[in-house]
Amino acid sequence: MQLGLVGLGKMGGNMAERIRRAGHEVVGFDRSSPKRDVDSLEKLVQALDAPRVVWVMVPSGDPTRSVVRELGGLLSAGDIVVDGGNSKWTDDQLHAQELGAKGIGYLDCGVSGGVWGLQNGYALMVGGDKDHVATVQPIFDALKPPAQTDESGQELPAAGFVHAGKAGAGHFSKMIHNGIEYAMMQAYGEGYELLEATDLVDDVPGVIASWTQGTVIRSWLLDLLVRALDEDPQLDRIRGYAEDSGEGRWTVEAAIEHAVPMPAIAASLFARFVSRQDDSPTMKAVAALRNQFGGHAVRAVAAQEAERPA
């Protein structure tokens, strides 16, 4: 099968390679990558045989909207656009409507796998029309993890791919996946901090590594934490600063909209905001209040810090 791929960064570049290894043809375009096969979206479309399939892997928001809009002016009825980035599901609904008016199909595909996807395969959550999904299925099959078998050698039900529902369902599912990821990482991080805080435990990395086999909290994320501690046992080389790419916020917003209680994910999102503050104003207020009502001691700002200009 032939595929146009827009965006050849860490994810897109590896996906292109995995698809090629499966025997498909990929025509890649990226505005800055030297790995590109063509130097414009127009030339990418011209290089593909109709009906065309173009997969978009660029940052969510305006970059994706711009590419989809431009493709809408270049493609023809019967072609299909797949957004494999981290777009908000409401954007997918608009894109499906706008492209559908021109006879162009649209699929949203939440992709998980990170930089390890080239080796291990990617989990794919797809939204859109079932006929369009069927057209792109050979590419989905190339990207997803290989089939697993049970102890008798019998192939297990397909995993790593799902047609989640109508337009927007794929990115909505991936959004919730990432919200869960926020909470899991926060729990592992808090456990690590408490282990480091006590003088009872001599081998913190060893304890965490021991959890990777036979326990109910084992996971790939835990394996990655072990890897990080192998490289930097005290995590001295990195700051405790964590960005949020949007999906955590959207997950909490959706929870509010649907009145679904989501305290763990919400707390993990707000913890990331705290990580960006060198001296949290919130905790200053808490300390001041504790001092006012209970006479609890507060830690004064060092004189040299107090003298710094605002």
Whether residue 180 contacts residue 221, with contact meaning beta carbons closer than 8 Å, is answered with no
* CA-wise closest residue to 127 among 155, 148, 156, 96: 96
The mean pLDDT value for 166-179 works out to 96
- What's the pLDDT at 33? 85
Q: CB count, 10 Å around CB of 245?
A: 11
What's residue 306's pLDDT? 42
pLDDT tens sequence across 68-117:
999 999 999 999 999 999 999 999 999 999 999 999 999 999 999 888 89
Domains of the chain: 2-166 (3.40.50.720), 175-274 (1.10.1040.10), 281-310 (no CATH)
Give the residue, 175 or 296, on which the prediction is more confident: 175
Q: Give the pLDDT band (50/70/90) at residue 304.
A: very low
Give the model's pLDDT for residue 165. Answer: 98
Q: For residue 285, what are the β-bridge partners?
A: none
95 CB contacts (<8 Å, ≥6 apart)? 65, 68, 81, 83, 106, 108, 167
Among candidate residues 43, 144, 166, 174, the one labeled active-site is 174
Q: Is 174 assigned a catalytic role?
A: yes
Alpha carbons within 13 angstroms on the beta-carbon side of residue 56 total 29
Q: What is the pLDDT of residues 197-227, one digit of tens each?
A: 999 999 999 999 999 999 999 999 999 999 9
Whole-angstrom distance, CA of residue 12 vs CA of residue 122: 12
